[in-house]
Amino acid sequence: MREESLRDANKSQLVDNMREEDKLEEIRPVQTSHSVNISNEDRHRRSMNLIDFLYSVSKMCEDNYDPLYANVTEDEIIEMDKAYGRHISLENGLRNPELVAPRTRIKWTRERIMIKEDISYCWYRTFVIAADFANMIPQFRQLPIQDQCQLFRHNFATTSWLFYLDAIIKLGLIDGFPFGNGAYAPKDIIPEYNPFINSDAHHYYSKLLIDPFKDLDSKEISLFMTILLFQNGESCSDKGSEICRRMNELLIDALWDYQAACGITNAVDGSEDNEIHCFKANGAIPTGRILLQQARLAKETDSLINLFDEVDLLQDEENGYLSDTSLTLD
């Protein structure tokens, strides 16, 4: 009897110890990359591995599709519009993206002019790609589901745009915007879908959302997409915020090292603002890499929203005209 009581007491103590360890694990701060002394060579290797991984993940998500939806026709797009998971919660959508929309094969061809169902296809299929991309990143999976939802609420629009941007840069915006299913929106405005926008809007669209990024390669776009995904970590729980902070440090380190590999150096120029600026031995640095450099500086505020302030001025403006006179676009 005494032995049984002793075993029970030991078992109870073991359970209590495990619970205490679980509590410590929950509150133990995530170790940051800068708290570990590593050589420049090791950091460079880590950065290149991270960039290669993110690029591979983005390509896997683009190439992955359900064989049943390998060649979706326009009629099938119309039928699919009735079955999208509009009722699915964001939490369930992140856990089971296939409930939101089927994984159709991505086609960047321009076989037909868009119909209204292509707009909803673009939105829901892009969500699935963005969710697949995020779920393949270990640091995102470490986040509590509530924090994952928070990041998607804040960052889905900007993150998903980078996915289309990569395709647009490769193809060139010749005939119009591709939807990824063989349809495209032509440069000539379709009044049915754009009643308040004139052709000037397409000029600003290209100037602000496409042209600055044309010089970025696919690896830089994948890196930028991930940087955007982990922004606004301050809106997450303490644990989630720390994970986002650590991930941002890894990403910014990778950006720093990749730019150095591209021949771009970073230094304080000695001016009064004491800001870091880019220098390149053989000429000016393209605009897209300057925007990526701004991401390096923006890590102090954990927000890249300032990079998109100019774009926000275009929202809700009728006839494609800007009402803010403080911004001049040529």
DSSP state letters, 107-164: EEEEEEE--HHHHHHHHHHHHHHHHHHHHTSHHHHHS-HHHHHHHHHHHHHHHHHHHH
Residue matched to tokens 């450099």: 293
208 token code pair: 């602000």
Domains in the chain, CATH or no CATH each: 38-316 (1.10.565.10)
Alpha-helical runs (H) found in the chain: 2-27, 40-63, 74-80, 90-95, 116-135, 138-142, 145-171, 199-209, 218-229, 238-261, 287-298, 309-312
Q: pLDDT 10s digit of each residue in the chain, 330 long?
A: 444 454 555 555 544 555 544 443 443 333 444 445 678 889 999 999 999 999 999 999 999 999 999 999 999 999 999 999 989 999 999 999 999 999 999 998 888 988 999 999 999 999 999 999 999 999 999 999 999 999 999 999 989 888 888 877 777 665 678 899 999 887 665 666 555 556 676 677 777 777 778 788 889 999 999 999 999 999 999 999 999 999 999 999 999 899 888 766 544 344 444 344 444 444 444 555 555 555 544 444 444 444 444 333 333 333 333 333 333 333
Q: Residue 237 — left, alpha, or beta (φ > 0 → left; ψ -120 to 50 → alpha)?
A: beta
